């Protein structure tokens, strides 16, 4: 009986040692590093996203998106391709009156190798700084030669349409 207990402890120790080694393996460190890189890039992009509207500069907005992106706004057909960000910027700026906003990232999923998904909340402000809408979003980010870019951008309001 004592021998079985010692064997069980030895096997458990080996399994524990192996599991701990796997958690710190170079491959896992690389994946964690990739995700950290993506998280940092997303935070940097989100920090300047609404400057495009505050400054009336569509180039800032366009640079957030991959060339093969799709923007999926509520109650509208999706806009896809290299001109989609400019089309959306024009609608948001000229028709909706968006002048500033805020993103609140609540989660980021993925391994950070090619794609990650960002989940969060957003707020939109008019020229007087008044919040006129808020909601939730999911963005699929893609790693491109130009860095992490929004590949699929889908969002909806928390309020019924008037």
In a domain, 57, yes or no: yes
pLDDT at 7: 40
The CATH number given to whatever domain includes residue 70 is 3.10.450.50
Phi, psi (5° rounding) for residue 161?
-70, 145
Whether 38 maps to a domain, the answer reads: yes
- Is 131 contained in some domain? yes
**Do the Cβ atoms of 85 and 71 come closer than 8 Å?**
yes
The pLDDT assigned to 30 comes to: 62
Name the residue with tokens 């609540």. 106
pLDDT in tens, the chain (162 residues): 444 444 444 444 433 333 344 343 444 556 678 899 999 999 999 999 999 999 999 999 999 999 999 999 999 999 999 999 999 999 999 999 999 999 999 999 999 999 999 999 999 999 999 999 999 999 999 999 999 999 999 999 999 876
Domain range enclosing 128: 2-157
Of 74, 86, 80, 75, which Cα lies nearest the Cα of 137?
74
pLDDT reported for residue 161: 79
Neighbours of 34 (CB within 10 A): 17
Q: Is residue 61 part of a domain?
A: yes
Radius of gyration (Cα) for the chain, nearest Å?
A: 22
In a domain, 50, yes or no: yes
Identify the pLDDT of residue 162.
67
Q: Where are the alpha helices (DSSP H) in 24-145?
A: 26-49, 51-55, 58-62, 84-90
Whether the model clears a pTM of 0.85, i.e. scores above it, the answer is: no
Q: Is residue 136 part of a domain?
A: yes
Note whether residue 24 is domain-resident.
yes
Tell me what pLDDT residue 9 has: 44
| Residue 162 forms part of a structural domain | no
Q: How many CA atoms does the CB half-sphere of 112 hold within 13 Å?
A: 17
How many domains does the chain divide into?
1
Task: Give the angle 155-156-157 at the CA atoms, nearest 5°.
Answer: 140
Tell me: the pLDDT tens digits for 103-113?
999 999 999 99
Q: What is the pLDDT of residue 32?
A: 72
- Give the tokens for residue 2: 């004592």
């Amino acid at each position: 009986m004592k021998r079985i207990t010692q064997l069980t402890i030895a096997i458990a120790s080996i399994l524990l040692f192996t599991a701990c080694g796997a958690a710190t393996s170079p491959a896992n460190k690389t994946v964690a590093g990739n995700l950290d890189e993506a998280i940092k890039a997303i935070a940097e992009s989100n920090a300047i996203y609404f400057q495009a509207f505050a400054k009336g500069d569509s180039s800032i907005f366009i640079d957030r998106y991959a060339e093969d992106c799709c923007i999926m706004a509520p109650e509208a057909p999706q806009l896809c391709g290299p001109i989609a960000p400019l089309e959306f910027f024009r609608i948001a700026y000229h028709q909706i009156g968006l002048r500033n906003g805020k993103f609140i990232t609540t989660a980021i999923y993925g391994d950070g190798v090619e794609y990650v998904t960002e989940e969060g909340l957003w707020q939109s402000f008019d020229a007087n700084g008044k919040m006129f809408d808020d909601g939730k979003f999911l963005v699929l980010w893609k790693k491109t030669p130009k860095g992490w870019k929004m590949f699929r951008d889908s969002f909806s309001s928390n309020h019924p349409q008037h």
